[in-house]
Every structure is written in structure tokens, then in C-alpha cells.
Chains A and B, each alone.
Chain A
């Protein structure tokens, strides 16, 4: 069974840092692009970042560019999101989601259960 499990969320002060992890199982991580999507409380879905299977191609939303870094360790079957200079508006549930092999038609399936990040003093 394909499964994604996020961890590393929690409460952090504005300006602080946090690293999210996503543990993948049931498939060969290196064969797929991976993605982070977030959802602020009561709001819609916002794409955050994508990384290709071999880490050659990386993309960020403008809202996080320069503050967040996506990376992966295929040998450890893990995806990460390093979040620096956090702001109140980064408060959201963060989901990791598997993409496609080539990032062409990069649809997201499946998704992890999500992890809450709260940025507040």
C-alpha cells in the first residue's frame, strides 16, 4: 500500500524555523516527483513546492520562495521541507503528495494525512 506520513509540525514563533518530513512507503520514491501543498485554517488548497525524482527540477510558490527549501533523500524514502523566516500567514496544515514520474501533468496522488504548522507568538 502506498503511504505518506508527515511529521515535524508544531508551534513556532514568527521568524523561527521548522523542518517537515514525509516518510514514503509502498513505492520507489526515486521514480516520482514529490510535492508540498498547504491549507490555511478554513481556506482552500495552496501549492507550495515540487521536486523531481532526481532533484534536478525544483519549483516554489512565490509566497515561500527564498524562505522554504524542498529536498529529498531517496535512499531514506523521505521528503523534506525546511521552513525558515516563518510568518503568521504560513500557519496551515501541510500535506505531502506524490506527483508523477516526469512532472508532466503533475497531479497529486496520494496525499499524506497532513501536519499542522502554527506560527504564533
Chain B
């Protein structure tokens, strides 16, 4: 099975900060990497698919990059509504494993 490792597990940042979250796969997954945002008490929401494809309606401050085993989610200028937990997920092959999550908190 492919293991997904996110870092950091949590971070504190201020509004306007640039935030970067990384996700590493235990073996190559090509570009089959997706990013989700989850707010407390809510279902996850797909932000980015295939490593860098921004979903409709997702603000342009979100971007994704990477291929193979190393991937990055970047929020260029953190907004109050971005405080949430972010998960990566590999969709190269089942089991479709998730990273452990990165909680973005207000500094």
C-alpha cells in the first residue's frame, strides 16, 4: 500500500501569510494527488486534483504542484476562512490513502 506523509501536522499563521504544506508518497503516484479542505463539523471539500488542477470556485490563492512522490499545497495569502485542516490523498491505485492532515491555526 502507498503511504502518504504530510508535513507539518499543524502550523500557526497570520492572515496574509504564505503557507506551504507538503505531502510525500511512499512510491511514485505520477500526478494522482488530490488536496481537500475540512472545516470543523463539515464534510471535506476537494480543492485541487491531479496535483495542480484547481477546482471550480476555489480561490486562486490556492495552488498545487509536484509529481512522482513529492507534492505541495500553497496558500499565497492566508485568509480568515482558510483556517481548517488540509488532507492530501493519492488516487493512483487503491487503497486510496490520505495523509494524516495538516491543521492550519490562527497565530
Contact = CB atoms under 8 A, between A and B. Distances in A.
A121 B79 CA distance: 44
Counting chain A residues whose Cβ lies within 8 A of the other chain, the interface size class is 20 to 34
A106 B49 CA distance: 9
A111 B98 contact: no
Given A44-B87, A50-B96, A107 B43 contact: no
B88 to A, nearest CB: 10
Given A109-B46, A114-B43, A59 B95 contact: yes
B55 A109 contact: yes
Contacts of B95: 47, 59, 61-62
A108 interface: yes
A95 B44 contact: yes
A44 B32 contact: no
Contacts of A111: 43-45
B94 A59 contact: yes
B53 to A, nearest CB: 9
A105 interface: yes
B91 A45 contact: no
Interface string A60-77: 011000000000000000
